[in-house]
Amino acid sequence: MPNIDITVSPDLEEMFDLPACSDISLPPPKPITLHLPGGATMTSFSDLSKGVPTDCAMTFSLLLQIAPFLAATECVVKVLKFVQTIVDVIKGATAPTDLISAIPKIVQAAEPVIECALSFTPLGLIPFIRDLLCLIIKVLKCFLSQLTSVMKILNETVLQISIAQANGNDELVQSLTCAQNNAMTQAQHLTSSLEALSVILDLAGDLMQIAGVQPIKLPSIGTQTDVNGLNQVAQTIQELVATLQIAADLLGGCQ
C-alpha cells in the first residue's frame, strides 16, 4: 500500500511533534535543610506513598516538622529571653541605681515566663486537656465511621455468599470471599491504628492527673476475625466516646 504525504499547516505539524525528553523530565527532588537554634538541623523527607516527590511536597514535609518544634520550644524561648534581659541589665549597670531603674524592664520580660509557668498548673492545664479530649473524640468518631462502612460490606458479603452457595455459583462465592477477606484486613488495620492513640493517652496521663482528670486508657481491642468481634469493638468505642464527652463537658465542652 503506497504512502501518501498530506500537507498540513505548520501549526498542526508542530502539535504532532514529540516533545524533547528534557522538556518533560521530572526534576530530581532536592532535600531542604533548616538550621535550628543550638546547632541541630532539620531535613525534609520524601513520602513514597504519595508518588514522586516534588519541591512543594518536600517544602510542606519540612513545615510539618517545624510546627511542633516551634510549639514545643515557645516557653523555652521566653525563658531565654528573660535570662538575656537580666544579663543585659547586669552588664549595663554601672551603679546600684541602674539596677533599680531596670526593675520595670525585668518585670515586663518576666511576664511571659510566668504565663508559661502558670500553664502547667492544674488550672492552666485544663484548656489543653479539654482540647485533647475533644480531639480524641473526633478521632474515635472517624474510626467508628470507617469501621461501620467496613462492617456494612462484611454483612452484605455474608448474605451474598450464602445466596451464591445456595445457587451453586462457585465463581461468585470465590469473588465474594476475596472481597470479604479484604474488608476484614481493612478492619484489622483500623483497629491497629488505635495503638498510636493509646500511646498519646499514656503520655498525657501525668498532665491529666495534674489537672485533676482521671487518666484515660483505651480498652484492649485485640485482633478481631469476625463480624461479631467487630460489633463488640464498635460498642466499646461508642461507650468510650460517651465517657470522654462527659469529661470534656465538665472542662468546658468542645467547640
Query: What digits encode the pLDDT tens for the residues 71-111?
Result: 888 888 888 889 999 898 888 888 878 888 888 888 888 89
DSSP SS3 for 155: helix
Distance in angstroms between the alpha carbons of the first and the last residue of the chain: 76
Residue 228: per-residue pLDDT:
83
Give domain limits for the chain: 32-72, 74-118, 125-250
By the 8 A CB rule, do 145 and 124 touch?
Answer: no
| CB burial of residue 213 (10 Å; 0-12, 13-18, 19+) | buried
Query: What digits encode the pLDDT tens for the residues 166-203?
Result: 988 888 888 888 888 888 888 888 888 888 888 888 88
Query: What digits encode the pLDDT tens for the residues 21-32?
Result: 666 666 666 778
The vertex-16 CA angle with 12 and 17, nearest 5°, equals: 115
Angstrom CA distances, 186 to 53, 139, 146, 174, 211, stand at 27, 17, 10, 19, 37
Query: What digits encode the pLDDT tens for the residues 197-239?
Result: 888 888 888 888 888 888 888 877 766 667 788 888 889 899 9
What average pLDDT does the structure give for the chain?
Answer: 83
Q: Which residue has the higher pLDDT, 51 or 60?
A: 60
Query: What digits encode the pLDDT tens for the residues 53-72?
Result: 777 888 888 888 888 888 88
Residue 24: per-residue pLDDT:
62
